[in-house]
Structure 1
Amino acid sequence: MARENKRRASGRRSPLAAVVLIGVGLLMTGGIYAGASAAVASTDTSTTKTALTVDDGKKLFQANCATCHGMDLQGTANGPSLFGVGELSVEFQVATGRMPLAMQGPQAPQKPVQFTEDQIRAMAAYVQSVSPGPTYPDQQTLDGKGDVATGAEIFRTNCAMCHNVAGAGGALTEGKYAPALDKTSALHMYAAMVTGPQNMPVFSDLNLNLEQKRDIISYLLYLQQHESAGGFALGSLGPVAEGLFIWIFGIGSLIGVTVWITAKSN
């Protein structure tokens, strides 16, 4: 009888085994549920998402843009005509938040975007249908696989005087400025070169051909994806920022040490 009780005692499971089994079961159930939910959500998104039409773009334009640009894109006293600007210019201006313009000024600042991507594309398609102009490039132009070294050379020659050699931007005259390019998308880099927004000149294929534009985009994307090899970039603003840093921290530290030594000697 004693032997039988001993065998039963030795074959008894640990009290933690049930807890472990329940935990494993819950994790497996939760993982399966999460995977199924994600699959259903992606399916619903793909089936319910509808592209807006040109007519939808016309309604959006007339409700949000016609006050300044006219019901038929002819322009008004408050805004220029949009004849010939093309869908690429509309996408750039609206997708960066520059338009709709809150108030007149030296330059339209970037603001939070007020429309969805579908709405922006629909308005751009409407403008393109009324008066065609520059349109979207092919994906190869935006792939970032051009010649980075050549792009850097072209950028320094044609763009660095305003945007800084590292694309950090810079001040212009009368309250205008060249924006920083550290977060600009490849499409908007191309759009800026082709449409010449605000103070920027238009770079046609006679100035910079498609391959050269691709090289510039590749260079700027390279800068975005790689940290400065020289350490802390100080905004990539060049010798002015570096000199200011030395004066404030370098000379300031020397003065502080000198005062400390003098106080100790006294």
Structure 2
Amino acid sequence: MKALIARRHHRFAPVVLLALALVVTGGVYAAFSPAPASAASAPTETDIDMGQALFRANCATCHGTDAAGRTDVAPSLVGVGAAAVDFQVSTGRMPMMANTVQAPAKPTVFTEEQIQQMAAYVASLGAGPAVPSDDQVDAAQGDAANGMALFRTNCAMCHGAVGQGGALSGGKYAPNLLGVEGRIIYEAMVTGPQSMPVFNDATVTPEEKRDIIAYLDAQEQGSPGGATLGSIGPVAEGLWAWVVGIGLLIVAAVWIGAKSS
């Protein structure tokens, strides 16, 4: 009995007990903690090889077999990153059906896996913007009020006050952004497709990009004031007030004139 009591009071007993407690705590936490949201798995060599085959079969005619581009035909894709490929191909803008001033959005002809493989191949050619994570494009985590201020400062001159699009010069246009996935909007900001400038993280931070996505998402919930009046901002509201107000004044003037005579 005395020997057992001596072991319990051994000078290393607290250290052993602390180590056991840490092991048990870590095991319980690992067993019951929720798994973190994982980003897309890193592409394998097989993905890159498959992407290269898809690229050469569908894109090399314009961009060249080495993706270095062709003068007056198509730009180089070296260094554009996976985000540019995901944006262009998943929206159906690429491959283009005709050489026009602007590539319109249309149903894609590739599966999600094929798009990821082509993106992996192009990303392997040079560093560039990656496809954003789910957290980066989660509108629920954004600040719609701040997004409104950012959108009106950086985007509204082309896309309109609430993102319904507008005409540009030379037959080009800024597309309607309502109903567009947050991932696509984010990728457009970081890659600057067609006439759009690039909004890198130094210009618009990732958090601010998410705020812009939150603002656009809020516009899809309907107009809190009733009729949207085309959703083109105060111009429509002012025109409506002008037409109705002047009309009422004319009616009042006619009625007063008829009464006086």
User: If the length of structure 2 is used for normalisation, what is the TM-score?
Assistant: 0.71
* The one of 132, 157, 172 aligned to 1:161: 157
- Deviation string 1:146-183 (CA, Å, 9 cap, x unpaired) is 11111111111111111111111111111111101111
* The one of 97, 103, 118 aligned to 1:102: 97
Q: Per the alignment, in what secondary structure is the counterpart of residue 169 of structure 2? A: coil
Correspondence for 1:16: none
User: Partners of 2:236 and 2:171 in 1: how far apart?
Assistant: 20
User: Partners of 2:145 and 2:151 in 1: how far apart?
Assistant: 10
User: Partners of 1:147 and 1:241 in 2: how far apart?
Assistant: 26
Q: What is the deviation of 1:204?
A: 1.1
C-alpha spacing 1:235/1:197, structure 2 compared with 1 (3 Å): same
Correspondence for 2:63: 69
Deviation above 6 Å: which 4+ runs of structure 1?
none
User: Partners of 1:239 and 1:186 in 2: how far apart?
Assistant: 26
What residue ranges of structure 2 are gaps of 5+ in the alignment? Answer: 1-45, 251-261
Identity, % of aligned positions: 54
User: Partners of 2:161 and 2:168 in 1: how far apart?
Assistant: 15
* The one of 216, 222, 230 aligned to 2:225: 230
User: Partners of 2:67 and 2:160 in 1: how far apart?
Assistant: 35
Q: Is 1:208 paired with 2:204? A: yes
Q: What is the deviation of 1:60?
A: 0.7
Correspondence for 1:181: 177
User: If the length of structure 1 is used for normalisation, what is the TM-score?
Assistant: 0.69
User: Partners of 1:106 and 1:240 in 2: how far apart?
Assistant: 29
Q: Per the alignment, in what secondary structure is the counterpart of residue 91 of structure 1? A: helix
Q: Is the 8 A contact 2:164 2:178 kept in 1?
A: yes
Correspondence for 2:147: 151
Correspondence for 1:28: none
Q: Is the 8 A contact 1:168 1:235 kept in 2?
A: no
Q: Is the 8 A contact 1:89 1:191 kept in 2?
A: yes
Aligned length: 201
Q: Is the 8 A contact 2:86 2:131 kept in 1?
A: no
User: Partners of 1:138 and 1:109 in 2: how far apart?
Assistant: 25
Q: Is the 8 A contact 1:65 1:100 kept in 2?
A: yes
Correspondence for 1:32: none
- Deviation string 1:192-224 (CA, Å, 9 cap, x unpaired) is 110000011101122111111111111111222
